[in-house]
């Protein structure tokens, strides 16, 4: 009896097995095994921050097309090191970059110039009459960046201003590409002094549009050494590769647009994030 | 009789309240030069013109102040004589901003000296005529503002055999083109003859909606003696009969292929205002420095068809029409269906400003966030036979690829869908969003390919 | 997803700015629903005439229950109330119209819970529901309480022998059981029968009996352009054609087309349920396909299925393929060649 | 006529997904995009039809003969697994895109209870060989019909706005329930 059983199952197995073996032989597909292995090394969040459709696609691009291995931001230094070891190349690690919205003009500081009626999306709002905020550079607060963020690190405050929570940011850079007003920048995580304004308008115009705008007074540039803050027309720009003593610069800004983000803004409240998503 | 009814008509379309009676009977009046003219360098579609004057310069009317800024660009001329007070970025009526030249008029309104009329234009070559049009800085005056000289020079291999003159003026409220046809039919006809000569095409169709019988009669009268193949095509009154592709179909029964131009079916559409500008530029040698704008709406005290210099601020235009009676909650540059809402009256007129419309608070319908109830009215109304209901839901779910597959790029943003939508969804804005998204994606891909 | 006008705008004189168009037809969802409610009034009047107090009791309790459940659901989900659009009222009336007069009120309320909470609000409310809520309510009741849902009052049937008899079955139900057991039809067809059915002197759900009243409502909706002729026209036409063929093949066992058209819930289904905007196709062609599909399925279920009446199931089944119909009947975009032409050229 | 009734019965009346509730996993898993769903349908039609043929042979000519009918489940799964593997290999070769889109759900056809279900039902209902194959084919058609209908609905539902707790698979299951409610209309269409 046991013999029958074994024979029967074994026989069926044998027939099926040989059929499969034949199929595998005639229908074989050649695949670079490294693609799969590299995909396993990647974090697998499929955020698309590297510019490819998911981790698998990026791994393919690295293995087959020789694309650089530094594009995976969420993976951080660890993934980079693993990838470098796997691909046999030198890794150069940098500091973690986090996104920051360079605008401090919330609804108390920067008034609106008309009633916008339409889709609640920054790109759409920006295209209608140039955006409803009087300041044509400021954050519109229609949460396009927050929707683009794969990890919910961007909060739209009650006063219609986008704020990045650096501790949640995975440096994918999606928000940077989404913002129609190009207000979001990637900066080293350890830096705490930022010019929270992106308005290139002249002082008087800025003053009319926002209470915390950069009026181009140049005072800050004189507080720092080695061109750590430079002027782009009427806008002060922090050069993040040069050191700044944040505590000394921030209080000197007459427009109150240089802020010291140390300590960083309070962590996101759970409920708040849910409401925005 | 030089008239024929339109044999074809696209499906879809809508019948809004036209309210043309406000200004249809009002003759065009010329507005005196206001105290400041702010002439934008972006009066057209394409690259802005390059400023050719400096602050403090004295200019004469018709003097070149902006040179072509690229292949698709249009020259800009001083609309009056005076002094350049400032050259600075200023908001445009379409919501963007562009460099503008502020001119303080000296009150003399003196023309530049080198004006050469060509009453003998019939002996000139097509090329010379096109250069005259180009020199005069003419852009399509129907609304889009495409440089006319570019339109008139089809690439080699393309034959244009039919010229359609767009006198449909299907936008509600607006009557500027209507009045031009009634008052200046003879000059428009001469403009048509000039274009006909440039293109070397025989067939001319003047398309007019049947709600303008006086314009039809006027155009027919001036065309009576023409021996060529020309006729007035009488369109059924329906929005958007004035849209280029729909009009070509109505007049000729030909469908412009998706992504193509009218010249792909051998047609060219010019607005009546543009045609008149061509006449002025060639026969009288005058550059384009003024246009007729319909200032209208129920809150306006004295609505009318105003011949105003380019660069006249909307506030001055309104003041000339004796201001408002009661409240206006929405100000629109252009017509109600495709015009641009304004948040202030600071913007100034350009070559494309066909109207300035003021709406009462009770006329303003705000868009809302109601979900689509799939009534299908937008599908029936769409003159491009799209499915706005489906598209807008896809776009709301940020599925731009699906929208692209359903041909959102063919949308002409005429607004029929949003007009009909009982849920008051911002359909046109959705389409614009998707189109902008697709274009951005394509640009990105192109850049990627290059690198 | 749209920013409504902000109440706390800092300056009161701000203009409204939006994309074009700046004109609107004035149509609104609320107005459409109001038109449907108005169109249902003749049928309600007929229901009250034939069933008296029960009709009023069921209609009122369903309307109140639907509106209340809708409000509760919206509140529980933390969204705007959204009962102002009157869609819950329409659902309530339609559900009540699909119930037998003797149904206990609590059962009707259970049906309302199914209709509004599960079939509609779970999906996000008006516009998102894939199935007609009222029909889901009815079918859920039919399956849960088969006895109560098929308990009818008495009515006088025109009998084949010439003597009128009393029956407690619906005309279609009677026909089905008779054909199955005796192999013959229980009716005597003359002008009087037809008039009786047209006016609504028959057994059935409270809202479906009077074809004439439903027809008046349909005409009103056509005039108000709330519905187009495509769906009901194709639905009724298909049922007529299908039943006509069956009748010609075997008049002994099949009901004549006019009987199929006037008896049961066909008129109510074709005019009010199949034309529900949310769950039917958006294209004209799609509406016609939808109507034909409903007609075929109704006749298949009526003739061969286990239920005497197939309208609810037919419409629900067609609801389920509405997205596919929309996709398949997308109009040819202006300036695009037809697909097969593209291949040919 | 008998065969037509079997087909109608398996497709409409006793639809495997909507009335027997078999094969729910791929039904929910690959109903997001129509092309993928169609690919799945193809795979299932192939596997179910051929599996019902082979399992019938295995049952009636091997297991029965040897008197080891209790090995039915193991033997059947063995056969089905091989077929699925075959489809997997073939699909990787001829349509890698579809292979990637189906992902885990392709090998999971193995554990698709609809396939095993149809094989077991064939034996239970004591169908002959031809009937068994037709039943298997019809059952897979029923699965395909349900999957295609559901994919259309799914595209609408994915754009719907359910409360957070019901987003995703939850609302899809509710929809499947309502769809099966609608399919009740076919009840006793075929005895």
Give yes or no: residues A179 and A207 share one domain: yes
Q: Is pLDDT larger for residue B27 or for residue C154?
A: B27
Instruction: Write down the pLDDT at residue C89.
Output: 94
Select the more confidently predicted residue: C142 or C196.
C142
What would the mean pLDDT of B400-408 be, rounded to a whole number? 90
Write the CA distances from A195 to A138, A149, A156, A209, D48, integer angstroms: 13, 23, 19, 17, 66
**Number of helical H runs and strand E runs in chain B:** 13, 18
Q: Summarize pLDDT for B180-210 with one digit per residue, the tens.
A: 999 999 999 999 999 999 988 878 999 999 9
**pLDDT at position C171:** 76
Q: Residue A30: what pLDDT?
A: 67
State mean pLDDT over B301-311.
94
In the numeric block, the tokens 């009393």 are attached to C166
The residue-averaged pLDDT of A252-261 equals 81
**Could you tell me which residues of chain C have a Cβ less than 8 Å from any Cβ in chain D?**
76-77, 118-119, 122-125, 128-131, 136, 139-140, 143, 297, 300-301, 304-307, 310, 312-314, 316-317, 319-324, 327
Same structural domain, A135 and A260: yes
Q: How many helices (H) and strands (E) does chain D have?
A: 9, 0
The answer to whether D175 touches C137, Cβ cutoff 8 Å, is: no
- A92 in a structural domain: no
Question: Which tokens hold the place of B114?
Answer: 């080198």
Please indicate if any CB of chain B lies within 8 Å of the CB of C343: no
Residue A274 pLDDT > 60, yes or no? no
Among B205, B230, B243, residue whose Cα is nearest residue B9: B243
Is C112 within 8 Å of C96 (Cβ atoms)? no
Does D94 reside within a domain? yes
pTM, two decimals, is 0.86
The confidence score (pLDDT) of residue C136 equals 94
Q: Which residues of chain B have a CB within 8 Å of the CB of C333?
A: 258, 384-386, 407, 410
Whether residues A64 and A131 fall in one domain: no
Q: Please give the residue of chain C at the shortest CA–CA distance from D179.
A: C320
Mean pLDDT value across residues B113-127: 89
Higher pLDDT, A252 or C270: C270
Q: What are phi and psi of C301, to 5 degrees?
A: -70, -40
State the pLDDT at residue A65.
76
Q: Which of residues 139-158 of D touch B (CB under 8 A)?
A: 158
Which residue in C2, C6, C14 is closest to A118 by CB distance? C2
> In the predicted model, what is the mean pLDDT of residues C140-164?
73
Q: How far apart are CA C227 and CA C218, in angstroms?
A: 8
User: Would you say residue C339 has pLDDT above 70?
Assistant: no
Same domain, A172 and A220: yes
Residue A14 lies in a domain: no
Does residue A8 form part of some domain?
Answer: no
pLDDT tens for A194-233 read 889 998 888 888 888 888 888 888 888 888 877 888 888 8
Mean per-residue pLDDT for C11-22? Answer: 74
**B224-277: pLDDT as tens digits:** 888 888 899 999 999 889 899 999 999 988 899 988 889 999 999 999 999 999
A91 in Cβ contact with A112 (< 8 Å): no
- pLDDT at residue A14 greater than cutoff 50: yes
Which of C122, C135, C321 is the mutation pick for testing D, counting most D CBs within 10 A? C122
Tokens of C222: 């056509």
Number of C-alpha atoms within 13 angstroms, CB side, residue B187?
A: 19
Choosing from A65, A87, A109, the residue where a domain stops is A87
Report whether pLDDT(D62) > 90. Answer: no
Structural domain includes residue A6: no
Q: Which chains have at least 3 CB atom pairs separated by less than 8 Å from chain D?
A: A, B, C
Which residues from D are below 8 Å from C139, CB to CB? 181-182, 184-185
Does D157 contact C320 at a Cβ distance shorter than 8 Å?
no
Overall number of domains in chain A: 2
- Minimum mean pLDDT among A91-95, A172-176, A269-273: which range? A269-273
> Is residue D86 situated within a structural domain?
yes
D126 Cβ neighbours under 8 A, 6+ residues apart: none
Q: D54, D62, D168: which to substitute to probe chain A, counting the most A Cβ within 10 Å?
A: D62
Is the Cβ of C5 closer than 8 Å to some Cβ of chain A? yes
ipTM of the complex: 0.84
- Name the residue with higher pLDDT: A61 or B293: B293
pLDDT digits (tens, 9 = 90+) for B150-184: 999 888 888 888 999 999 999 999 999 999 999 99
Q: Which of A1, A12, A20 sits opposite D85 (nearest CB)?
A: A20
Q: Which of the two residues, C309 and C153, has the higher pLDDT score? A: C309
* Predicted confidence (pLDDT) per residue in D136-187, tens digit: 999 999 999 999 999 999 888 888 888 888 888 889 889 999 999 898 888 8
D1 — contact with chain C (CB < 8 Å)? no
Kindly indicate the confidence band of residue C265, based on its pLDDT and cuts at 50, 70 and 90: confident
A142 and A232 fall within a common domain: yes
Domain that holds residue A65: 33-87
CB B167 within 8 A of CB B205: no
- pLDDT band at residue A264 under the 50/70/90 scheme: low
Q: What percent of chain B has pLDDT over 90?
A: 66
Res. B343: pLDDT tops 90: no
Pick the more confident residue, C136 or C157. C136
Strands (E) located in B345-433: 355-359
Answer yes or no: is D187 within a domain: no
Q: Do A129 and B343 touch (CB under 8 A)?
A: yes
Q: Tokens standing for C96?
A: 């009540």
Mention every residue, 6+ apart, whose C-beta is less than 8 A from residue C137.
Answer: C91, C95, C98, C111, C112, C114, C115, C116, C119
B402: number of CA atoms within 13 Å, CB side?
19
Number of domains in chain D: 1
Instruction: Decide if pLDDT at C230 tops 50.
Output: yes
pLDDT at A265 over 60: no
Structure tokens at B171: 């936008």
On whether the CB atoms of residues B377 and B420 are closer than 8 A, the answer is yes
Name the residue among C1, C2, C9 with its Cβ closest to that of A115: C9
pLDDT digits over B433-444, tens only?
999 889 988 988
Q: Is the pLDDT of residue C6 over 70?
A: no
Of B371, B394, B399, the CB nearest to D161: B371
Least confident of B287-296, C44-53, D24-33: D24-33
Alpha-carbon distance of B366 to D76, in angstroms, equals 64
Q: Looking at residue A277, what is its pLDDT?
A: 33
Q: Measure CB to CB from residue A121 to each of B91, B342, B433 and give the nearest one.
A: B433
Q: Is C20 on the interface with A (CB under 8 A)?
A: no
**Is the model's pLDDT at D14 over the cut of 90?**
no
**Would the pLDDT of A276 be above 70?**
no
Highest mean pLDDT among A199-203, A204-208, B379-383, C195-199: B379-383
Which strand (E) or helix (H) includes residue B166?
A: strand B162-167
Q: Which of A262-266, B341-345, B407-411 has the lowest mean pLDDT?
A: A262-266
Cβ-based neighbours of B102, under 8 Å, separated by 6 or more: B36, B37, B38, B39, B84, B85, B86, B87, B88
D33 interfaces chain B, CB cutoff of 8 Å? no
User: Which residues, in sequence order, are CB contacts of C224 under 8 Å at separation 6+?
Assistant: C35, C39
The mean of the pLDDT values for chain C is 84
Q: If you average pLDDT over each of A2-6, B189-193, D71-75, which comes out highest?
A: B189-193
Report d(CA B64, CA B62) in Å as an integer. 6
Contacts of A222 (CB under 8 A, 6+ apart): none
The answer on A106 and A83 residing in a single domain is no
Task: Please report which confidence band the pLDDT of residue C190 belongs to, taking 50, 70 and 90 as the band edges.
Answer: low
pLDDT for the residue A93: 54
Q: What is the C-alpha to C-alpha distance for residues B12 and B379, in angstroms, rounded to an integer?
A: 8
Average of per-residue pLDDT across B23-38: 93
- Judged by DSSP in three states, D100 sits in helix
Percent of chain A with pLDDT over 90: 8
* Residues B255, C334 contacting (CB under 8 angstroms): yes
* CATH code of the domain in which A72 resides: 1.10.15.40
CA distance D145 to D139: 10
- Mean pLDDT check: name the lowest of B45-54, C12-21, C158-167: C158-167
Range of the domain at D79: 35-150
The predicted model gives C149-157 an average pLDDT of: 72
d(CA C4, CA B368): 7
Contact A130 B96 (CB under 8 A): yes
Distance (Å, whole) CA C245 – CA C251? 10
């Amino acid at each position: 009896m046991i013999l029958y059983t074994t024979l029967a199952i074994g026989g069926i197995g044998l027939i099926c097995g040989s059929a499969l073996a034949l199929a595998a032989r005639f229908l074989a597909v050649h695949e670079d095994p490294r693609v799969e292995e590299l995909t396993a090394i990647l974090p697998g969040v499929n955020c698309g921050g590297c510019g490819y459709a998911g981790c698998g696609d990026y791994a393919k691009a690295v293995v087959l097309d020789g694309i650089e291995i530094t594009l995976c931001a969420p993976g951080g230094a660890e993934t980079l090191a693993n990838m470098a070891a796997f691909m046999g190349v030198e890794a150069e690690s940098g500091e973690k970059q986090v996104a920051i919205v360079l605008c401090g003009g919330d609804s108390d500081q920067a008034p609106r110039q008309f009633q916008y009626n339409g889709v609640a999306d920054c790109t759409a709002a920006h295209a209608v009459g140039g955006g409803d905020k009087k300041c044509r550079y400021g954050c519109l607060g229609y949460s396009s960046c927050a929707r683009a963020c794969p990890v919910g690190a961007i909060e739209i405050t009650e006063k219609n201003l986008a704020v990045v929570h650096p501790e949640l940011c995975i440096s994918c850079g999606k928000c940077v590409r989404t913002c129609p007003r190009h207000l979001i920048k990637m900066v080293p995580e350890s830096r705490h002094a930022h010019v929270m304004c992106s308005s290139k308008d002249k002082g008087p115009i800025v003053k009319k549009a926002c209470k915390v705008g950069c009026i181009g007074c140049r005072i800050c540039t004189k507080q720092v050494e080695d061109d750590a803050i430079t002027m782009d027309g009427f806008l002060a720009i922090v050069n993040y590769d040069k050191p700044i003593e944040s505590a000394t610069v921030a209080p000197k800004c007459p427009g109150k647009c240089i802020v010291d983000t140390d300590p960083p803004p309070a962590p996101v409240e759970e409920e708040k994030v849910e409401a925005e998503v | 009789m030089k008239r024929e009814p339109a044999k074809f008509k696209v499906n879809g379309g809508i019948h809004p309240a036209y309210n043309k009676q406000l200004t249809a009977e009002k003759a065009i009046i010329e507005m005196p030069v206001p105290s400041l003219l702010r002439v934008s360098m972006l009066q057209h579609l394409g690259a802005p013109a390059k400023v050719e004057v400096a602050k403090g310069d004295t200019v004469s009317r018709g003097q070149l102040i902006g040179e072509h800024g690229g292949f698709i660009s249009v020259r800009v001329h001083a609309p009056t004589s005076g002094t350049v007070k400032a050259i600075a970025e200023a908001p445009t009526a379409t919501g963007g901003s562009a460099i503008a030249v502020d001119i303080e008029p000296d009150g003399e309104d003196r023309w530049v000296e080198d004006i050469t009329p060509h009453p003998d234009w019939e002996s000139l070559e097509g090329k010379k005529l096109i250069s005259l049009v180009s020199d005069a800085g003419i852009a399509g005056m129907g609304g889009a503002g495409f440089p006319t000289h570019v339109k008139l020079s089809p690439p080699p291999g393309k034959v244009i055999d039919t010229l359609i003159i767009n006198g449909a003026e299907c936008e509600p409220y607006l009557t500027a083109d209507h009045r031009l046809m009634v008052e200046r039919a003879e000059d428009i006809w001469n403009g048509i003859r000039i274009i006909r000569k440039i293109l070397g095409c025989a067939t001319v169709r003047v398309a007019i909606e049947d709600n303008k019988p006086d314009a039809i009669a006027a155009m027919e009268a001036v065309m009576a003696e023409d021996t060529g193949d020309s006729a007035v095509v009488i369109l059924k009154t329906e929005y958007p009969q004035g849209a280029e592709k729909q009009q070509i179909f109505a007049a000729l029964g030909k469908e412009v292929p998706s992504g193509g131009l009218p010249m792909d079916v051998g047609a060219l559409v010019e607005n009546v205002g543009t045609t008149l500008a061509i006449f002025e530029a060639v026969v009288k040698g005058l550059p384009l420095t003024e246009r007729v704008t319909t200032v209208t709406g129920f809150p306006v005290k004295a609505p009318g068809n105003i011949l105003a210099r380019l660069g006249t601020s909307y506030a001055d235009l309104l003041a000339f029409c004796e201001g408002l009676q009661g409240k206006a909650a929405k100000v629109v540059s252009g017509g109600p269906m495709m015009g641009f809402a304004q948040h202030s009256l600071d913007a100034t007129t350009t070559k494309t400003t066909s109207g300035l419309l003021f709406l009462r608070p009770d006329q303003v319908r705000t868009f809302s966030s109601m979900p689509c109830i799939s009534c299908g009215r937008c599908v029936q109304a769409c003159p491009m036979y799209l499915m706005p209901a489906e598209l807008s839901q896809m776009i709301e779910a940020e599925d731009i690829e699906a929208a692209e597959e359903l041909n959102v790029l063919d949308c002409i943003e005429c607004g029929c869908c949003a007009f009909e939508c009982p849920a008051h969804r911002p359909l046109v804005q959705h389409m614009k969003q998707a189109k902008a998204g697709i274009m951005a994606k394509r640009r990105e891909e192109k850049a990627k390919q290059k690198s | 997803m749209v920013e409504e006008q902000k109440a706390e705008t800092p300056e009161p004189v701000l203009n409204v700015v939006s994309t074009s168009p700046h004109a609107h037809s004035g149509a609104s969802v609320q107005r459409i629903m109001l038109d449907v409610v108005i169109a249902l009034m003749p049928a309600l009047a007929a229901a009250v005439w034939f069933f008296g107090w029960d009709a009023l009791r069921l209609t009122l309790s369903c309307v109140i229950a639907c509106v209340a459940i809708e409000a509760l659901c919206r509140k529980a989900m933390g969204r705007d109330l959204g009962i102002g659009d009157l869609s819950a009222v329409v659902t309530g009336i339609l559900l009540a119209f699909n119930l037998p007069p003797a149904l206990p009120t609590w059962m009707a309320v259970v049906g309302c819970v199914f209709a509004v909470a599960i079939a509609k609000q779970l999906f996000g409310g008006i516009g998102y529901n894939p199935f007609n809520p009222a029909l889901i309510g009815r079918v859920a009741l039919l399956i849960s309480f088969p006895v109560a849902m098929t308990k009818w009052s008495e009515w006088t049937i025109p009998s084949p022998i010439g003597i009128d008899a009393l029956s407690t079955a619906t005309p279609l139900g009677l026909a089905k059981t008779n054909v199955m057991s005796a192999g013959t039809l229980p009716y005597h067809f003359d002008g009087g029968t037809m008039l009786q059915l047209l006016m609504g002197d028959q057994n059935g759900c409270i809202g479906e009996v009077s074809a004439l009243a439903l027809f008046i409502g349909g005409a009103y909706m056509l005039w108000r352009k709330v519905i187009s002729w495509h769906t009901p026209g194709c639905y009724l036409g298909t049922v007529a054609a299908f039943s006509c063929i069956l009748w010609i093949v075997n008049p002994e066992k099949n009901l004549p087309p006019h009987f199929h058209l006037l008896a049961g819930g066909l008129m109510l289904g074709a005019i009010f349920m199949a034309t529900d905007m949310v769950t039917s196709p958006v294209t004209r062609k799609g509406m016609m396909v939808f109507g034909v599909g409903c007609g075929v399925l109704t006749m298949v279920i009526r003739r061969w299925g286990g239920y005497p009446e197939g309208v609810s199931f037919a419409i629900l089944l067609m609801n389920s393929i509405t997205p596919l119909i929309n996709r398949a009947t997308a109009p040819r975009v202006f300036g695009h060649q037809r697909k097969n032409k593209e291949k040919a050229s | 006529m008998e065969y037509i009734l079997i087909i109608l019965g398996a497709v409409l009346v006793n639809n495997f997904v909507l009335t027997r509730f078999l094969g729910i996993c791929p039904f929910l898993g690959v109903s997001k995009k129509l092309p993928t769903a169609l690919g799945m349908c193809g795979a299932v039609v192939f596997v179910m039809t051929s599996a019902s043929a082979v399992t019938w042979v295995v049952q009636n000519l091997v297991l029965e003969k040897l008197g080891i009918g209790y090995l039915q489940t193991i033997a059947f799964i063995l056969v089905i697994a091989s077929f699925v593997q075959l489809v997997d290999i073939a699909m990787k070769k001829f349509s890698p895109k579809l292979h990637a889109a189906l992902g885990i759900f392709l090998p999971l056809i193995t554990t698709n209870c609809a396939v095993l279900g149809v094989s077991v039902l064939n034996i239970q209902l004591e169908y002959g060989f031809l009937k068994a194959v037709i039943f298997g084919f019809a059952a897979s058609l029923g699965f395909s019909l349900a999957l295609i209908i559901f994919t259309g609905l799914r595209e609408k539902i994915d754009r719907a706005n359910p409360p957070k707790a019901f987003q995703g698979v939850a609302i899809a299951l509710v929809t499947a329930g309502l769809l099966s409610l609608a399919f009740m209309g076919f009840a006793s269409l075929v005895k």
